[in-house]
Amino acid sequence: MPTNMPSNTHSRPRGGHFQALAQSLAPIAFLRALPAAPPALASASAGADLSAGMGAGVGASVSAGTAASAGASAAATAAPTASAAASVSAGAGAAAGVSAGTLALALFILVALLALLLMLREAASFALETVRLPADGGASDACAGATPDGNSLGDSGANAQVAAGAEPTAPGAGSYASAMPATASATAGDTGAAPASDSGGLRILHLSDIHLRLLPIPLPKIADAVRRAAPDIVVLTGDYLTSPKDAAPFLDWLSAIIAASGGAAFFLCFGNHDIKAFGYNAFELAAYEKQLKKLGVAVLENRTAIVERGGRAYSITGLRDFSRKPVRAEPALRAAPKAGCYRIGITHNPDIALDLPPRSLDLLLCGHFHGGQIWLPLNLQYTCLRKERLCRMGICSGLHELNGIKLYISRGLGCVLFPLRFRAKPEMTLIIAP
C-alpha cells in the first residue's frame, strides 16, 4: 500500500540518511515531473536518479522519501521509479560526478536568475533624495585649488590640478576634494515621504541621465515624485536619447514632467549620448533645441539664465559637455553676476569641475556616472570601465566639494546597455540652495 511506504522506510535505519537526502531533492524530482521542463531544470532531475542508482534498496528508499513529499498519489509510482533508478547502476561514482556538476550548474543558473531579477527591480525603483545646502555662500576654504593643468577654461590662471588616480583625503586636511555630508538629507522611495519643508532658498529638482529607451521606471511614479517635490526650478543634466527616434517620445515624457511640476522653470543641457544620437551634427541638435524651447524649456549650452526667488538672484549656467567640442565655457561663466548671486552650474560630465577656475561657481550639478550602475568589488565599475578622472579619484556620486565648488553628482534615473542596476539606485534630487 502506498500509504505504508513512509513507515516501511522508517524501519530501515540505513535508508534513513538517504531518505533525508531524497527529501531535499524532492523539488528537483517535482521539476522532473513537469511535462516541458527547460533543459537545465530537466538535467537537474538527474540528481534524483543518482541517489536511486546507488543501489536497489537505497533507490527504493529515495523514491519513498520523494513520494512522501509529493503526496500519496506520487507515492504510487515509487516502486517503478526505484526500478528505473536501479537500472541506471553503471558506475555510481561517475554518475555522482556528473550529477554534482549538473546540480552546481542548476544552482548557478538559479542564483544568476535571482540576481537578474533583483537588478531589474532596483533599476525600476528610485529614491527622491533631499539635500539642503548651508547658507555659507558655497565655497569652502578647505578645498583650494593649486596649479594649472593645461586644460584651463577660465582666465584666472589658477585652475586646480589633480593627478589621475590621486585619492581624496579627509576634509580639513588640506585636501583638494572632499566628500561632504549634506546638512539635511533624506531618502524616500518612490512611494516615500514628502521632501523637507520649505523654509526659504531655491528648490531645485535635479534630474539626470534619463536614457528614455532604458528607463524602466513608470512615468506616473516619476511625475508623482516631481509633484511632491514642488520645485521652483527643474534642471536636467543630459543623456536623454539614444537615437533621433527617441526625440519625440522624450518630448512627450518631458511634457508630462512639466505638467506635474506645478509651473516650475525648466533648464536643460545635453549629455554625450544626446550629442552622439544626432551624429555630432550641430544643425540637427539646434533643430531639437527649438522643439525643447517650444515646451518652455531653456536649453543652456554655454549660456546663463537668471532666476529670482525670495529677493535673491540665482544664475543657472549650462556648461557644454566635453563631447561637444570646443567647450568654451568662459563667456557663460562670466555672464553670472559677481556679487549677491548664487551661481549654479549644470553640466553632464562632472570631470569639467577639474578644469573650472576655483570658486567660479557655488554649486555644480551633473550626472554621467550612474553611480556605477552595477557595483563591482574594488569599485572596478569605475576603475576598469570608465576613463573619467573624478571617478578614479573616488568622487563618483553625491555631494562633494572640489576646487572651491560644491559638486553634486546624480546617479540618474535611466540605464545604459542593460536596464539593470546593483547598489546604484536611480535617483532624483531635491536640492535646496540658500
Contact range with Fe ion by CB under 5 A, out of 36-44, 138-146, 231-239, 307-315: 231-239
CB of 304 to Fe ion, least distance (A): 24
Contact range with Fe ion by CB under 5 A, out of 29-37, 78-86, 149-157, 207-215: 207-215
Q: What is the spatial distance between Cα 63 and Cα 67, in angstroms, rounded to a whole number?
A: 6
CB neighbourhood size of 291 (10 A): 15
Q: What is the spatial distance between Cα 131 and Cα 137, in angstroms, rounded to a whole number?
A: 16
Output 209 or 351, the one with its CB closest to Fe ion: 209
DSSP assignment of 107-130, as one string?
A: HHHHHHHHHHHHHHHHHT--EEEE
CB of 365 to Fe ion, least distance (A): 14
CB of 299 to Fe ion, least distance (A): 18
Contact range with Fe ion by CB under 5 A, out of 21-29, 142-150, 205-213, 356-364: 205-213
CB of 425 to Fe ion, least distance (A): 15
| Residue of 129, 239, 362, 427 interacting with Fe ion (CB under 5 A) | 239
Q: What is the spatial distance between Cα 291 and Cα 283, in angstroms, rounded to a whole number?
A: 13
Q: What is the spatial distance between Cα 392 and Cα 179, in angstroms, rounded to a whole number?
A: 14
CB of 367 to Fe ion, least distance (A): 6
Q: What is the spatial distance between Cα 124 and Cα 109, in angstroms, rounded to a whole number?
A: 22
From first CA to last CA, the distance across the chain in angstroms is 82
Contact range with Fe ion by CB under 5 A, out of 64-72, 232-240, 387-395, 418-426: 232-240
Query: Where do the H-state alpha helices sit in 124-218?
Result: none
Which class for 106: exposed (0-12), middle (13-18), buried (19 or more C-beta within 10 A)?
buried
Which class for 108: exposed (0-12), middle (13-18), buried (19 or more C-beta within 10 A)?
exposed
Residue 302, sorted as left (phi over 0), alpha (psi -120 to 50) or beta, turns out to be left
CB of 362 to Fe ion, least distance (A): 25
CB of 421 to Fe ion, least distance (A): 12
CB of 269 to Fe ion, least distance (A): 13
162: helix, coil or strand? coil
Question: If binding is defined by CB under 5 A, does position 129 make contact with Fe ion?
Answer: no
Residue 251 in grid coordinates = 518630448
Output 53 or 371, the one with its CB closest to Fe ion: 371
Contact range with Fe ion by CB under 5 A, out of 136-144, 206-214, 289-297, 420-428: 206-214
Beta strands 312-318 and 303-309, pairing class: antiparallel
| Residue of 49, 122, 129, 209 interacting with Fe ion (CB under 5 A) | 209
DSSP 226: H
Contact range with Fe ion by CB under 5 A, out of 59-67, 167-175, 233-241, 400-408: 233-241
Output 25 or 409, the one with its CB closest to Fe ion: 409
Residues contributing to the site for Fe ion (CB under 5 A): 209, 239
